Amino acid sequence: MTYQDIQTYKHIKLTPYAGACGVEVDGVDLSKPMPDEVFAEVKHALHEHLVIFFHGQDMNPANFKAFCEQWGTLEDEPFIPKLQDESAPGVHEFKGNIDPNRKTTQDLRWHVDHSYRQYPSMGAMLYALDVPAAGGDTLFANMYKAYDDLSDSMKRFCEGLTAVHDVLAYGMDVGLLNTDKPEGFEYLKIMRENFPPMEHPLVCTHPVTGRKFLYVNQSWVKRIKELEPIESRHLISMLNEHSTQLKYQCRFRWSNRDLIMWDNHSCIHSGVPDYVGKRSMLRGSIEDHWVPA
């Protein structure tokens, strides 16, 4: 069954969550493998709505891993600790304990996971084990719509440009990477050796839907290859401001036992670090061999 084959959903119920993107999916028990016909509809919903939300799921590390692997091979996440559970290799533990005096990776601005790699993630999943009663929402923005709303002249201009994605860009800009001590410089050296700057088109075509989308984000895009520095800075700033307008956003408020998955190509996301106390989730991301183009 291909992306275009599904006209109506027979096995699941969808409820739009926001106007720009995001849909709640009911009628699925993710604690056990989805039958092929159910999985086909869920996959179609992901590509149609970019973000899918499941409530009240009874997940443990083992069945969360099984859910992830229905989508593909789990990839390694270099900046989030692996879950210490022998039943779930490849699953990571996404923890937060917000300290206003300390920068963490949970302060990330709008971003695409791993766009600083040759092969960015296909998608990612989070399952809420213990979340605050308020705060810690996750924001998503639809990069199809952001591209569609550009003027024709701006579309033509952007389609000829290349963005340089750099894993060090965010940390250096906001002070997450501390170079005041020798170990800070050593960490930067290791990061650069593992993740050299990567070039991707500023406008890409989705490998499944065939739709064009903007491929820019606040955290990793450092410059535009073909432009002078001042031109590059202003274009990136304009596109970031444009693509994160409220009309392109969906804001998800978490409850325990919620599971979400997003299309990591066509939407950007950002966590809101406005909560007090601990926040614990399971996280998985799926390998992809698509080179942004």
Q: Is the separation of the CB atoms in 286 and 114 below 8 Å? A: no
Residues whose CB is less than 8 angstroms from the CB of residue 271 and which lie 6 or more positions away in sequence, other chains included: 106, 108, 136, 137, 138, 139
pLDDT digits (tens, 9 = 90+) for 73-88: 999 887 788 888 888 8
Model-level pTM greater than 0.85? yes
Q: What gap in Å lies between CA 113 and CA 270, rounded to an integer? A: 10
pLDDT digits (tens, 9 = 90+) for 244-283: 999 999 999 999 999 999 999 999 999 998 888 889 999 9
DSSP string, 251-270: EE---TT-EEEEETTTEEEE
What's residue 94's pLDDT? 85
Residue 91 burial (C-beta neighbours within 10 Å; 0-12, 13-18, 19+): buried
Helices (H) and strands (E) in the chain, counts: 7, 15
Q: Which domains can be identified in the chain, with CATH numbers?
A: 3-98+116-131+253-286 (3.60.130.10), 143-243 (3.60.130.10)
Q: What gap in Å lies between CA 210 and CA 188, rounded to an integer? A: 37
What's residue 273's pLDDT? 87
